[in-house]
Structure 1
Amino acid sequence: MRAFVLTGPGTYEVRDVAEPEPAPGEAVIDVERVGVCGTDVELFTGEMAYLHQGHSSYPMRLGHEWAGRVASVGEGVDAVWIGRRVMGDTMLGCGTCRRCQRGHQHVCDRRQELGIRGNRPGALAERLAVPVSSLHVLPDTVDAALGALVEPGGNALRAAQAAELRPRDRALVLGPGTIGLLVAMFARAADAEVHLMGQTDSSLAFAHGLGFAHVWREDQVPDLPFDAVVDATNAAHLPATALDLVEPGGRVVYIGLAGEPSRIDTRTLALKDVTAVGILSASPGLDATIRAYADGSVDPRPLIAATVGLARAGSVLAGERPPDAGSGPKIHVDPRRPGD
């Protein structure tokens, strides 16, 4: 089968590799759609911390936002899975430690992360082998494009839930990228008044086009009481800004990661009686995200700017936008496309 293989920082090949065989408890998936995200870019550039901590190494196969159809199953797996349309959890815990037993496999010390950590090949390939326990069935109303947006959506849903928004609460989302826009969509679905802060006119115009009336640059954010602030950026100074902007008694949610340490003043946190929450992983939010996409309460489809084949994945990771791309922040890959 064809697979995109990252051989080193900025170097890659589309190779013919052996097709995966399902181990006991696993399924092999015919991959239909894969999203490219910031973590993939960090692995492509060599900046990802896991590479320097020994959790990841080259060569590797990227791809953790995916959807497809079960082609075959391994020993111990019910054949009823064959033919099902699915997406899968990125975080694959050991299953036996205390955290896994408590349902926190996404923070298991021995976890693999599909296409990211622990040498578990990712979805930028025609087929993919994963544990059946990681799969989530997609209803007919959630096609492959939406299915590949479930993983980022699960992260965003958890961030919106952590904000504990009530109807007519005012929320500020920092960063109108894929995660920030998804957070804003889930916050809007909770009947909150949503504001977005960004850096570029184009990103703010895109957010405005999605129906968000309150969009601001950093120096334009109005002096309003924000019941919750969600930082979905990679800017090291914005976690402190989020804490400054949130209303006393409110909540700040940190889902973005900077390339260097971020600092907040815990005196401000305590004196404002603010609750701060960190979010890692979509795992606990996947099923609820699928339901939201299926019933139409959140429609992330406009975020997809273009879909390319495996041959163009490297240029996308290098920062090139396809010439026919729309204004959205997300690029998808369809590994089935021949010669693309």
Structure 2
Amino acid sequence: MRAVVFEEYQTFPSLKDVERPTPGPGEVLLKVAGSGACHSDVAIYNDFTADFGPPQMAPSFILGHENSGWVEELGQGVTGISKGDAYLVYGPIGCQQCRACSRGQDTYCENAASMRYLGSGLGRDGGMAEYLAVPARNLVALGDADPIAAAPLSDAGLTPYHAIKKAMPVLTGGGKTALVIGLGGLGQLAVQMLTALTGAKVIATDMKDSAMRRAEEAGAVTVAGGDDQAAQICELTEGRGVDAVFDFVGVAPTIKVAMSVVALQGKVTVLGIAGGKYEWDFYSTPYEAQLTNTYWGTIEELHEVVDLYKAGLISPLVTRYSLHDALKAYRALQAGELDGRAVVVPHGS
């Protein structure tokens, strides 16, 4: 079968022929419906080295951690799953024995250091291919929902959803505000989720006009980047500051903006992985304001994200690419040419 393979550190991936996987005990083989291209993939092949980055993600392996597909074959011991049914894949794979994994939070597996990989497309072969083998436990049923459009939900949907749920204590009640910084695939879904799940005024900011217009269509008030960005955001909160800020970029200037507009007892969550730094001091930080980060989410939360999708409350913006053009998707992603998510479709359009 054809697949997009990460073969060497700091080297662009290759499209090549590889052996079709066979599902092991407790696993399912999926005919891949869609696989989302993510900035995390770019970090894997562009930024990581033998000395920098998780050792569980050393080359080589097939990329793609945002995956959906139709059941093609059942491994030994798998029951209750029918061939042809559509599923979304929970990407992280932990030891499945520790406390974190027992609550479906493989992202924080206590035994991650001893694992051979961190997930599908993260050290273990992922879904940028015609077929994908995954643990049956990691499947979330899609029913009649479109699995191709749903593929980004496994990360671009789950990641903001987890962060928003964690921030609910500061968003509960009247007169609350939320700020979304960065309106790519994750940021756009965050706007939709905040609108669907809270009564907060949602403010969104980005450098791209097209991204801000799309956020406005989802119910956000937008502020363009610039020297008066923070002042405009504070004005929209009537000087109180923002109760919950979600930074999907994570460079030093965006974290600085987030911390400059957060309210007393507010919360800033950095989800972008750009590695920006922030210098904290007691006097310039609003009292009891939190600065934190999150990583992905739980299997249970992915079920909830799918419920929102099936109810029509969230809808990823998807640009489809054939597997033949998968490398073009990654080049477009790196160049910042995409609004929303690039999804590679190995079988048909």
TM range, smaller chain: 0.7 to 0.9
Instruction: Note the alpha carbon deviations across 1:69-96, whole angstroms, 9 max, x for none.
Output: 1111111111634322101111101012
Alignment correspondent of 2:208: 200
Instruction: Note the alpha carbon deviations across 1:271-298, whole angstroms, 9 max, x for none.
Output: 5112344211132520110010111122
Alignment correspondent of 2:137: 133
Alignment correspondent of 2:102: 101
> 283, 302, 307: which is aligned to 1:291?
307
Letter of the structure 2 residue corresponding to residue 87 of structure 1: L
With over 3 angstroms needed to count, the CA separation of the structure-2 counterparts of 1:335 and 1:77, relative to structure 1, is same
* 3-state DSSP of counterpart to 1:11: coil
> 239, 245, 252: which is aligned to 2:255?
239
Whole-Å Cα distance in 1 between the matches of residues 6 and 274 of structure 2?
23
Letter of the structure 2 residue corresponding to residue 308 of structure 1: Y
Whole-Å Cα distance in 2 between the matches of residues 275 and 213 of structure 1?
24
Whole-Å Cα distance in 1 between the matches of residues 333 and 78 of structure 2?
41
With over 3 angstroms needed to count, the CA separation of the structure-2 counterparts of 1:187 and 1:52, relative to structure 1, is closer
Whole-Å Cα distance in 2 between the matches of residues 136 and 279 of structure 1?
22
Whole-Å Cα distance in 1 between the matches of residues 176 and 51 of structure 2?
37
Alignment correspondent of 2:223: 215
With over 3 angstroms needed to count, the CA separation of the structure-2 counterparts of 1:141 and 1:202, relative to structure 1, is closer
Letter of the structure 1 residue corresponding to residue 326 of structure 2: A
Whole-Å Cα distance in 1 between the matches of residues 220 and 262 of structure 2?
20
Can you give the 5+ residue segments of structure 1 that lack an aligned partner in the other structure?
A: none
* 3-state DSSP of counterpart to 1:136: strand
* 3-state DSSP of counterpart to 1:191: coil
Question: 2:339 matched to 1:331?
Answer: no
Alignment correspondent of 1:114: 119
Alignment correspondent of 2:157: 153
> 308, 311, 316: which is aligned to 2:324?
311
Whole-Å Cα distance in 1 between the matches of residues 253 and 59 of structure 2?
31
Aligned-residue CA RMSD in angstroms? 2.7
Alignment correspondent of 2:59: 58
Can you give the 5+ residue segments of structure 2 that lack an aligned partner in the other structure?
A: none
Whole-Å Cα distance in 2 between the matches of residues 101 and 27 of structure 1?
20
Instruction: Note the alpha carbon deviations across 1:101-135, whole angstroms, 9 max, x for none.
Output: 35432111425333443x31000010000101111
Q: CA deviation at 1:143?
A: 3.6
With over 3 angstroms needed to count, the CA separation of the structure-2 counterparts of 1:321 and 1:264, relative to structure 1, is closer
TM-score normalised by structure 1 residue count: 0.87
Number of corresponding residues: 330
Alignment correspondent of 1:278: 293
With over 3 angstroms needed to count, the CA separation of the structure-2 counterparts of 1:143 and 1:50, relative to structure 1, is farther
Decide whether the 8 Å contact of 1:67 with 1:87 is kept in 2: yes
Decide whether the 8 Å contact of 1:163 with 1:230 is kept in 2: no
* 3-state DSSP of counterpart to 2:45: helix
* 3-state DSSP of counterpart to 1:80: coil
Q: CA deviation at 1:67?
A: 0.9
With over 3 angstroms needed to count, the CA separation of the structure-2 counterparts of 1:139 and 1:51, relative to structure 1, is farther
With over 3 angstroms needed to count, the CA separation of the structure-2 counterparts of 1:26 and 1:232, relative to structure 1, is same
Alignment correspondent of 1:4: 4
Whole-Å Cα distance in 1 between the matches of residues 106 and 154 of structure 2?
18
With over 3 angstroms needed to count, the CA separation of the structure-2 counterparts of 1:146 and 1:215, relative to structure 1, is farther
Question: 2:14 matched to 1:13?
Answer: yes
Question: 2:269 matched to 1:257?
Answer: no
Letter of the structure 1 residue corresponding to residue 42 of structure 2: V
User: Is the deviation greater in 33-42 or in 121-130?
Assistant: 33-42
Decide whether the 8 Å contact of 1:86 with 1:147 is kept in 2: no
Letter of the structure 2 residue corresponding to residue 126 of structure 1: E
Whole-Å Cα distance in 1 between the matches of residues 160 and 264 of structure 2?
23
TM-score normalised by structure 2 residue count: 0.85
